[in-house]
Amino acid sequence: MNALLLVIVIVLALAVVGVGLFFFRRQNVAVKTPPRTAVAAPDVPSGALVQDEPEVQPEPEVEPEPEVEPEREAEPEPEVESEPEPVEKATFRDRLAGVLGGLRGRSIDEEAWEELEEALILADVGVPTTMAILDRVRDRAKEEKAKDFDAALMLLRDEMELALGGMDITLTIEGKPAIWLFVGVNGVGKTTTIGKLAKRETDEGRKVVLAAGDTFRAAAAEQLETWAERSDAGFVRGAEGADPGSVVFDAVEHAAAVNADLVLADTAGRLHNKTNLMEELRKVRRVAEKAQGKVSEVLLVIDATTGQNGLIQAKQFTEAVEVTGIVLTKLDGSAKGGIVLAIQKELGIPVKLVGLGEGSEDLVEFDAHEFVDALFA
């Protein structure tokens, strides 16, 4: 019996020690676990032990990880915001055809001079301007003892820059609001130019109002309205067929009321009735200034691809209204860049802006050096 009792006692004692050891180990593990909990917790299969683990509840603390993730997800956002970056400002070098670049490396002889003359005329420099400028270049080539044709071409570059460079291309903002009136025949790019300028001027912090003075077609006003929305500019239109003068007048009054700096006024390049377009433009100009503003620029828009025809239009417009500057559009890809020389020399009016494409960044100030450089590229 004694032996039996002894065995029972030993077995019980062993059981107690075993259970004690088991719980002691378990607790140690539980205390150590926290750092590893996030990883280890799912591996613990026993339901009973999970009760001990409330202490382990630092688990939620480990959640910062998921919190980090949303941040990572958010990262692409700034990238999305900076997306407009790819829209780069157009440059002459990128967009112009280098129509005079092929004449390099020639010896200086009569044939080379003739080819150069032809190239200038093809580039729309115009006969009188080509003759005048080549006379100067040939004289200088003789005086300066030009060794080869490349040296003569350098002189031509110089003469071209001289002919183009001296003019003031500033766009004046005078009056509150200042009014810039855009004139030119249909399809040359008046509305598009106004849209590009609206973007440029609002980006520079000016408050701009667009006046839909082309009342010939309703679509013309809608086209302008789209540009106004893109640049956050104000917009004033009239009904189709409304008097353009009164639309511009209303726009100027509105601009004054909202303290805007600048009104960009569109006009039609043709008319319904027999009213003379030039007479109409004179009237728009007069009426615009009856409101509280000043017409500080009248910009004649010319399509470079129309070549010498553009020059004829320009003469008609400048006889009717006092043009303060030319906007030459569609020079992108055109081999007719020479028209700039013809316009400035024959009309004496500065080319202030150049259109190099249809997008809002495709309007640049005229820069004689960059322009000539691109022609020789």
Ligand X SMILES: Nc1nc2c(ncn2[C@@H]2O[C@H](COP(=O)(O)OP(=O)(O)O)[C@@H](O)[C@H]2O)c(=O)[nH]1
Residue nearest to Mg ion (CB): 191
Q: Does position 231 bind ligand X by CB under 6 A?
A: no
Contacts with Mg ion, 219-258, as mask; x by CB under 5 A: -x--------------------------------------
What does the block give as tokens for 128? 């009188």
The bridge status of strand 262-265 relative to strand 234-236 is unpaired
Instruction: Confirm or reject binding of residue 187 to ligand X (CB under 6 A).
Output: yes
Residue 309 site contact among ligand X, Mg ion, none (CB < 5 to 8 Å, cut-off depends on kind): none
CB of 366 to ligand X, least distance (A): 13
Closest by CA position to 340, among listed 113, 144, 169: 169
The residue (of 164 and 268) whose beta carbon lies closer to Mg ion is 268
Contacts of ligand X in 148-167 (CB under 6 A): none
Residue 131 CA to chain centroid, in angstroms?
Answer: 38
User: Within 10 A of 110 (CB to CB), how many other CB atoms are there?
Assistant: 7
The answer to whether 329 contacts Mg ion (rule: CB under 5 A) is no
Q: Which residue of this chain has its Cβ atom nearest to ligand X in the complex?
A: 355
Nearer to Mg ion, 184 or 338 (CB): 184
Position 192 contacts Mg ion (CB under 5 A): no
Q: Put residue 173 in one of left, alpha, beta given phi > 0 → left and psi -120 to 50 → alpha.
A: beta
> Distance from first CA to last CA of the chain, Å, rounded?
118
Nearest 10 degrees: CA dihedral of 293, 298, 301, 302?
A: 180
User: Could you tell which of Mg ion, ligand X, none binds residue 330, using a CB distance below 5 to 8 A set by kind?
Assistant: ligand X
| Total residues binding ligand X (CB under 6 A) | 18
Beta bridge partners of 210: 235, 264
Question: Under the criterion CB under 6 A, does residue 192 sit at the interface with ligand X?
Answer: yes
How near is the Cβ of 333 to ligand X at its closest, in Å?
A: 7
Smallest distance, Å, CB 230 to ligand X?
14
With beta carbons less than 8 A apart as the criterion, state whether 223 and 191 touch.
yes
DSSP E strand boundaries for 118-218: 178-183, 208-211
Which listed residue (126, 177, 189, 238) binds ligand X by CB under 6 A?
Answer: 189
Who contacts 222 (Cβ-Cβ below 8 Å, separation ≥6)?
none
188 binds ligand X (CB under 6 A): yes
Residue 191 lies near Mg ion (rule: CB under 5 A): yes
Contacts of 91 (CB under 8 A, 6+ apart): 356, 364, 370, 374
Which tokens is 304 given?
């470079």
Cα–Cα distance, 373 to 111 (Å, whole number)? 24
CB of 227 to ligand X, least distance (A): 9
Beta strands in 173-218 (DSSP E): 178-183, 208-211
192 touches, from Mg ion, ligand X, none (C-beta below 5 to 8 Å by class): ligand X
Query: Hey, is 364 helix, strand or coil?
Result: strand
Q: Is 330 in the site for ligand X (CB under 6 A)?
A: yes
The footprint of ligand X on residues 262-301 (CB under 6 A) is 269, 301
Strand partners, 364: 354
Site string for ligand X, 31-50 (x = CB under 6 A): --------------------
The most distant pair of C-alpha atoms in the chain lies apart, rounded to whole Å, by 141
Contact 236, 247 (CB under 8 A): yes
CB of 330 to Mg ion, least distance (A): 14
Q: Cβ of residue 143: shortest distance to Mg ion, in angstroms?
A: 49
- The stretch near Mg ion (CB under 5 A) out of 4-12, 23-31, 151-159, 210-218 is 210-218
Considering only CA atoms, which of 281, 377, 269 is closest in space to residue 329? 269
How far apart are CB 142 and Mg ion at their closest, in Å? 50
91 touches ligand X by CB under 6 A: no
Pick what 300 binds: Mg ion, ligand X, none; C-beta below 5 to 8 Å, kind-dependent: none
Q: Catalog residues that contact Mg ion under the rule CB under 5 A.
A: 190-191, 214, 220
Q: Catalog residues that contact ligand X under the rule CB under 6 A.
A: 184, 186-192, 269, 301, 329-330, 332, 355-358, 362
